[in-house]
Amino acid sequence: MGTTKLTWHDGQRYTGTDSWGNAVVPIDSDRSHGSKPSDLLPISVAACAAYTMVEILRKQRQMITALEASITSKQQDEAPWAFETIDVVFTIGGDVAIDKARKALELSHEKYCSVAASLRASVAMTFTIELADAAT
């Protein structure tokens, strides 16, 4: 089990510390740096899926040179603005077989991603992948 921390500084400025001791700036009232907590959740879903997907593809000796996720999410119109949908489209570059990439992505978000598993009961999520060459 990991321990994380959130520290309030002043106004609406906070710093988080992850379980590895790294700083995260989730809110800064002047918006000059820091991220909206509601943006961090969809990013976390994509990062969690990407991590395992890349590990699987590396073990299969797929030559990944780039990976980017475009994430679209929809929240309810009224408080508490719960997430309704999170859609993640990965674009992958390199010498990668699309069938292997699709299978790795499926395993990643359905079996190994704790963030997706935690949200699955209440948030509709889609995960797709395309080759960088096909995206242009």
Indicate if 83 and 98 belong to the same structural domain. yes
Cα separation, 120 vs 9, in Å, equals: 34
pLDDT in tens, 13-43: 889 999 999 998 887 777 777 888 899 999 9
Indicate if 30 and 97 belong to the same structural domain. no
The CATH number that applies at residue 95 is: 3.30.300.20
Average confidence score pLDDT of the chain: 93
Give how far Cα 23 sits from Cα of 2, 16, 39, 63, Å.
Answer: 15, 6, 17, 31
Domain boundaries, position 129:
37-135
pLDDT in tens, 74-110: 999 999 999 999 999 999 999 999 999 999 999 999 9
Indicate if 11 and 70 belong to the same structural domain. no
Work out whether strand 124-131 and strand 83-95 pair parallel, antiparallel, or are unpaired.
parallel
Indicate if 27 and 75 belong to the same structural domain. no
Indicate if 9 and 54 belong to the same structural domain. no
The pTM (predicted TM-score) of the whole model is: 0.89
Indicate if 31 and 45 belong to the same structural domain. no
H helices present in 60-126, as ranges: 98-107, 114-119
Q: What H or E segment, with its residue span, contains residue 25? A: strand 23-27
Indicate if 79 and 128 belong to the same structural domain. yes
Indicate if 48 and 24 belong to the same structural domain. no
Which pLDDT score is estimated for 34? 83
Indicate if 54 and 23 belong to the same structural domain. no
Q: Is the dihedral of CA 51, 56, 59, 65 positive or negative?
A: negative
Which pLDDT score is estimated for 11? 83
Quick count: other Cβ atoms within 10 Å of Cβ 24? 15
